[in-house]
Structures are given as C-alpha cells and as structure tokens.
Amino acid sequence: MEAAGSGAAYFKRGSLPWFAVITVSLGYLTWVAYWPQSVPYQKLGPLGLFTEYLVDNYFVLIRNGCSLAWLIHLGEAIYAMILCNKKGITDGWARLLWCVQTFLFGVASLSILLAYKPDHHKKK
C-alpha cells in the first residue's frame, strides 16, 4: 500500500529489502531461541556452526536477547500510535497499519513515520 492522499489516512509501506533482512534475521533469532533442536545447523554452513556454538554456550543470552528484541518492537509500535496522534493521522486503518508494520519491522517502519511532515493548510 502506498501513501494515501490525505494526512488523516497517511500510510507508506517501507523498503522491501529492509523488510526482507529484518524478517529473516528476527525470524532466525526467534527460531533459534525457541526451537533450537529443530535448526539444521550442519546445513547452514558457517552460520549454522556459529549459531550452534552460541546455542551450546550462550543459550540464556540468546533467549533473553530475542525477548528483548520483540519487546523493543512492541515499544516502537506503541510509539508509532502516539506519533500518529501527534501527526494528525486519525484514520483507524492507517493507524493500525502503522502499528502492525512498526511492530514487525521496527525502526525501518518508524523512521518513515518520523520523517512524515503533515501539511498544515490554513483555512481562509
């Protein structure tokens, strides 16, 4: 979905390459943190061997880091809702899209919303 015309319904989808990197990275971290026994470490080459080492020696750190990453994304999503209010984005659908997109992709989405400058037309 591209940017809507009015400021009240403003939403802009973020960059696909960033979203792909974030999806793969956060997905891999979550997979390793919560289902480490199902990861095919040997088939992932150097990344798999490094991940296996981390799981064997620093599993608590991985699990806590994953939880912290998701909590940060949740905080960013809440902040996105606050920003929507401050920037005059009142359309419920646009606000929901900003919240969900920011929860899933974090700063890659939030930076777009932060850069948005709403038009303040003076009424005659």
One-letter-per-residue 3-state SS of 65-86 = HHHHHHHHHHHHHHHHHHHHHH
In the three-class reduction of DSSP (H, G, I as helix; E, B as strand; rest coil), residue 116 is classed as coil
- At 31, phi and psi to the nearest 5? -60, -50
The size of the chain, in residues, is 124
Q: Residue 2 pLDDT more than 70?
A: no
More confident residue, 77 or 8: 77
Q: Where are the domains of the chain?
A: 7-115
Q: Residue 122 pLDDT more than 90?
A: no
Distance between CA atoms of 19 and 109, rounded to whole angstroms? 9
What pLDDT band is residue 83 in, cutting at 50, 70 and 90?
A: very high
Is the pTM for the entire model greater than 0.85?
no
Percent of the chain with pLDDT over 70: 90
Q: Residue 123 pLDDT more than 90?
A: no
